[in-house]
């Protein structure tokens, strides 16, 4: 009987801790990622990979 009471108390404690953690976290909403540098393709070729190979056929 003591084990059942301890398990019930632990369940209530775990549920309360979960609710508190979710509320402190902002309900899962995160701010959008902001980029300061423009995106670049790096050293990628200017034409698709298949184009130079198709001209060799």
Q: Residue 45 has what pLDDT?
A: 67
Six token digits for residue 53: 């190979």
Q: Residue 36 has what pLDDT?
A: 78
Answer yes or no: pTM beyond 0.85: no
Which residues, including other chains, have CB under 8 Å from residue 8's CB and lie 6 or more apart? none
Q: What is the H or E stretch that residue 44 is in?
A: none
| Model confidence pLDDT, tens digit, residues 14-52 | 999 999 988 887 666 677 777 777 777 677 766 766 666
Higher pLDDT, 10 or 52: 10
């Amino acid at each position: 009987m003591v084990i059942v009471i301890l398990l019930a108390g632990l369940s209530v404690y775990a549920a309360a801790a979960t609710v508190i953690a979710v509320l402190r976290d902002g309900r899962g909403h995160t701010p959008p990622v902001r980029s300061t540098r423009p995106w670049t393709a790096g050293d990628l070729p200017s034409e698709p990979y298949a184009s130079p190979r198709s001209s060799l056929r």
